[in-house]
Amino acid sequence: MIHIVWRRFRGNPLSVTGLIIILILATVALFAPLIAPYGPATINVYNVLSPPDRAHPLGTDDLGRDVLSRIIWGSRASLKVGFIAVGIAITIGTALGAIAGFYGGTIDSVLMRFVDIMLAFPTFFLILAVIAIVEPSIATIMIIIGLTGWMDVARLVRAEFLTLKERDFVSAARAIGASDARIIFRHIIPNALSPVFVAATFGIAGAILTESGLSFLGLGVQPPAPSWGNILTSGKDYITVAWWLSLFPGLAILITVLSYNLVGEGLRDALDPRLWQNEK
């Protein structure tokens, strides 16, 4: 199965390009201390709002800090939020979706009505309301995005469980006396994860956008720690005289989110069994 998925995935040039960009971004974030030419908080009052040049390829900000270095360090915050927040959402969504789909009946109805209630709230404004109460920080952002982003995953997993629990291999497991926990974790969940992987990829892109938006509003990663969102915030006051402060972090967000979306679309097509009929 894996070789079929990889063959179909690599047949999509845009998805492969997105994967390459993601791997490059992950490498840059991991080795930021070695790659960044300057420290993210290094101030140079003699080089304020300097346009891109050889010493500062992406220019400097209003405090003389190197924009390239801050974008490189900011990738750590954005990717950390994306992966951890989605990890939280996937864990909660998979657990609740599995319980609802496997047991059905009243449990299913109660859990799905709870999902409907959560979906009724505008997610971004719900996050804003929570952050207005608690102190904004990168840890808070990761937890809140994770706790407000699990509903679609729960629905996907529930739908898979409703189908898979009627399959012959589940009936055979019941016949030999397998417990519910064994059936769920050993037999159904491994076969229900394909849509979860796709949802996780799109979810990372959404989490990065949400974190950038919150940081832009001053409710996310707090200065002087760099984030693509708060770099944009510092650039909005100088957009007419220092275009590079808004352009380059905006491009970083655009390219990253687009890359994850391209990979998600590639995975969605590659993991669809209905498209495998012509594969050998």
Domain ranges of the chain: 2-40+64-275
At 224, list the tokens.
């002087």
- Single-letter code of the amino acid located at 52: P
How far, in Å, are 127, 230, 242, 244 from residue 59 at the CA level?
Answer: 33, 16, 9, 7
User: What tens digit of pLDDT does each residue of 55-109 get?
Assistant: 889 988 888 889 999 999 989 888 888 889 999 999 999 999 999 988 888 898 9
Q: Residue 198: pLDDT above 90?
A: no
**Other CB atoms closer than 10 Å to residue 176's CB: what's the count?**
6
Q: Which of 96-100, 204-208, 217-221 has the lowest mean pLDDT?
A: 217-221
Helix axes of 228-236 and 67-103: crossing angle, nearest 10 degrees: 130
Which position has the higher pLDDT, 177 or 22?
22
Q: Residue 254: pLDDT above 70?
A: yes
User: What tens digit of pLDDT does each residue of 29-53 get?
Assistant: 999 899 988 888 888 888 888 889 8
Q: Mean pLDDT across the chain, nearest whole number?
A: 85
CATH code, 2-40+64-275: 1.10.3720.10
How far, in Å, are 131, 151, 174, 181 from residue 198 at the CA level?
Answer: 28, 15, 30, 25
How far, in Å, are 86, 152, 170, 193, 204 from residue 94 at the CA level?
Answer: 12, 10, 19, 9, 16
Which DSSP state fits 183? I
3-state secondary structure 109-163: HHHHHHHHHHHHCCHHHHHHHHHHHCCCCHHHHHHHHHHCCCHHHHHHHHHHHHH
Which DSSP state fits 243? T
Q: Which of 2-6, 60-64, 159-163, 212-216 has the lowest mean pLDDT?
A: 2-6
How far, in Å, are 94, 132, 141, 165, 193 from residue 144 at the CA level?
Answer: 17, 12, 5, 32, 24
What pLDDT shows up at residue 186? 83
What pLDDT shows up at residue 92? 93
Residue pointed to by tokens 């019941």: 174
For residues 208 and 19, give the distance between their C-alpha atoms in angstroms, rounded to a whole number.
16
Output the CA torsion 6→21→266→198 (10° steps).
100
Q: Residue 202: pLDDT above 70?
A: yes
